[in-house]
């Protein structure tokens, strides 16, 4: 992480903050407190401010992803085609307890406003592999194949 901060260029404008955070997250998977504090010193923006800005946006996570990352399309078309309370059942199946990442670090969940494939919904992506027309049973099978 220190390397990443050192690799940042000398003069950083505030408008670049979001892309710095994006790059960091792409590299390390999530944004941690240590990074925010180091970055705060480096670019002279209070840590509280950076956290406030980052937490506003969907993209930023503050906890590591699970071993299996599950993306669910929450678009309108997928919603009206979804049956059997799929989303709330997924929370139960993955033992997420309304959190982003399960406590054993196995699963994490993310909602995408619309994946752009409304014809094929409901769509779920497990580790970036897409599944179309997913039913509750399909999901159970997909999950049971993961270690």
4-43 footprint of another protein as x/- string (CB under 8 A):
---------xxxxxxx-xx----------x--xx------
Q: Phi, psi (5° rounding) for residue 51?
A: -65, -40
Is 116 a binder of another protein (CB under 8 A)?
Answer: yes
Instruction: Using the structure block, give the residue that is written with the tokens 């240590």.
Output: 34
Is 143 a binder of another protein (CB under 8 A)?
Answer: no
Q: Are 116 and 103 in contact (CB under 8 A)?
A: no
Distance CA 57, CA 127 (A): 22
- HSE on the CB side for 42, CA within 13 Å? 23
Toward another protein, which CB reaches closer, 21 or 70? 21
Is 60 a binder of another protein (CB under 8 A)?
Answer: yes
Task: Identify the three-state secondary structure at position 126.
Answer: strand
* Contacting residues toward another protein, per CB under 8 A: 13-19, 21-22, 33, 36-37, 46-60, 62, 74-77, 79-80, 84-85, 89, 112-120, 123, 130, 132, 136-137
């Amino acid at each position: 992480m220190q390397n990443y901060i050192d690799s940042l260029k000398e003069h950083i404008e505030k408008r670049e903050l979001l892309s710095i955070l994006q790059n960091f997250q792409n590299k390390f998977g999530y944004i941690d407190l240590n990074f925010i504090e180091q970055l705060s010193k480096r670019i002279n923006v209070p840590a509280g401010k950076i956290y406030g800005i980052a937490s506003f946006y969907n993209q930023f996570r503050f906890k590591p992803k699970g071993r299996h990352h599950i993306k669910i399309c929450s678009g309108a078309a997928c919603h009206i085609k979804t049956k059997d309370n799929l989303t709330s059942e997924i929370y139960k199946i993955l033992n997420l307890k309304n959190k982003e990442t399960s406590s054993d670090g196995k699963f994490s969940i993310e909602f995408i406003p619309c994946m752009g494939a409304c014809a094929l919904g409901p769509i779920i992506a497990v580790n970036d592999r897409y599944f179309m027309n997913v039913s509750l049973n399909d999901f159970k099978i997909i999950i049971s194949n993961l270690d």
